Structure 1
Amino acid sequence: MDKQIIISIGREYGSGGHEIGRKIAKLLDIPFYDRNLLDEIADAKNVDAKKLEKYDEAPSRMFLSRTVRGFSNSPSVNIAEMQFDLLREKAAAGESFVIVGRCSEDLFKEVKGLFSVFILGDYETKLDRVMERRSLSAKEAALAIERHDRNRKAYHNHFCNGKWGDSRNYDMCINSSRLGVDGTVEYLKDYVDRFIKTL
């Protein structure tokens, strides 16, 4: 791709944001980043990626962590900062990519080629998707949605000036329940193609 494009996807749990991001990246033939960033970090630090996963996009425990001279004793804060640094390196090198979460709409707000979208969904649609994907009961799926969104909000709001899910912080907010995953992908791909022409 001649022009740098960074597509930032914020999402509610169960909205299909991860799948939408992956499909857009495939259509544009650019890298897709999500939890796979941990693999790169684990390789660089020579640690097991599985040990890092529980701290991925996890809120910091404010009363149990502290920062001294810019260094934190919170694993979740340190993992977040390592991901931010890795993403900044990729962007500085001119790489185009799709990134899910990781405060990316705030991280790259000065990048001309940033397109940020927040994907939400109708509650029943999200509940059905989580039940199907994770083989959970309705009650278990409801608890999972509540827990994941609470954690994402806390994580995001800890590191960013803007609030998670606030439409003013994104170029677009879209309800994936209206068009479905593939319809949402098609709509966003058309928007991105038009956006690239303006760069």
Structure 2
Amino acid sequence: MAKQFIISIGREYGSGGRVIAEHLAKTLNVKFYDKNIIEHIAQEKKLNLDQLKKYDEKARNIWLSRSVDGLSNSPEDTIAQMQFDFLKERAQAGESFVVLGRCASYILRDFDCMIKVFVTSDMHHKMERIASIEHLDPVMVEDMIIKNNKKRKAYHNFYSKEKWGDSRYYDLIISTSKIGIDGACDVVLDYVNKIIED
């Protein structure tokens, strides 16, 4: 039986982390989980997919929800917990997979087979990449990048006791600025293969 591994990819918006995560999953022939977790949950629990998507990867709005004895009435909390449970169930079942975001580096921290990666890039490269993908003026995308990273950080830091992007909580942090996304894919894959083969 193949050795189980779970790769968690955290990333800054525009750094290419999604491309790296998809490449790893394809190359290693394992499942890739990201926002598609919501689709799995909706299907398994027979819930409305559009309703679930509204609250995906959003931190609880403290003004519109309340907690009593540690229990919350927040849809954001409920959907986050369903995703965390989904990932834990897959990990406990022995499945190998790559997961993008979803606080996976924290939620699955107790699994020895966990490899935690964070992908970053300098602002100039993120701006050029997003401007090219979205067909926008590079100057206009800086605010978009800042807002998206602020949302990711808020979500991660709300549901995790670890700080988003803090090197103490990752096995590997890689910047795509100098070696590009393909180069970063090669480095991460080499790192993962060394761990898997041990």
TM over 0.5: yes
1:134 aligns with 134
Q: Aligned to 1:22, what secondary structure does the other structure show?
A: helix
CA offset digits 1:126-154 (Å, max 9, x no partner): 01111122223334411211111111111
The secondary structure found in structure 1 opposite 2:65 is coil
* Contact 1:59 1:152 (C-alpha < 8 Å) held by counterparts: no
Moved more, 30-39 or 53-62: 53-62
CA contact 2:123–2:142 (8 Å) conserved in 1: no
Partners of 2:127 and 2:139 within 8 A in 1: no
Give runs of aligned pairs for residues 35-46 of structure 1, distance below 5 A.
Answer: 35-46=35-46
**Number of positions where the alignment pairs a residue of Structure 1 with one of Structure 2:** 198
1:69 shift after superposition: 4.3
Which deviations, in whole Å up to 9, do the C-alpha atoms of 1:85-136 show, x marking residues without a partner? 0000000000000001111111111111111011000111101111122223
Instruction: Give the AA of the match of 2:95.
Output: E
Q: Offset at 1:196? A: 0.8
Question: Structure 1 CA distance, aligned partners of 2:56 and 2:140?
Answer: 22
Whether 2:177 is the aligned partner of 1:159: answer no
Give the CA deviation at 1:14. Answer: 0.4
Q: Give 1:164's aligned amino acid.
A: W
Match of 1:17 in 2: 17
State yes or no: 1:103 paired with 2:103: yes
- C-alpha change, 1:177 and 1:35, in structure 2 (3 Å) is same
The 10-residue stretch of structure 1 (24-33 or 44-53) with the greater mean CA deviation from structure 2: 44-53
**Counterparts of 1:78 and 1:67, CA distance in 2:** 12
- Is 1:4 matched with 2:4? yes
Which residue is 1:145 aligned to?
145
Asked whether the 8 Å contact 1:116–1:172 carries over to 2, the reply is yes
Note the 1:1-199 alignment, pairs <5 A: 2-198=2-198
- How far is 1:68 from its partner? 2.6
Q: Taking structure 1 as the reference length, what is the TM-score of the superposition?
A: 0.94
The gaps in structure 2 that reach 5 residues or longer are none
Structure 1 residue runs of 5 or longer lacking an equivalent are none
Query: Scaled by the length of structure 2, what TM-score is found?
Result: 0.94
- Distance in 2 (CA, whole Å) between partners of 1:38 and 1:181 is 27
Question: 1:180 and 1:86 mapped to 2: Cα distance?
Answer: 32
| Counterparts of 1:79 and 1:132, CA distance in 2 | 33
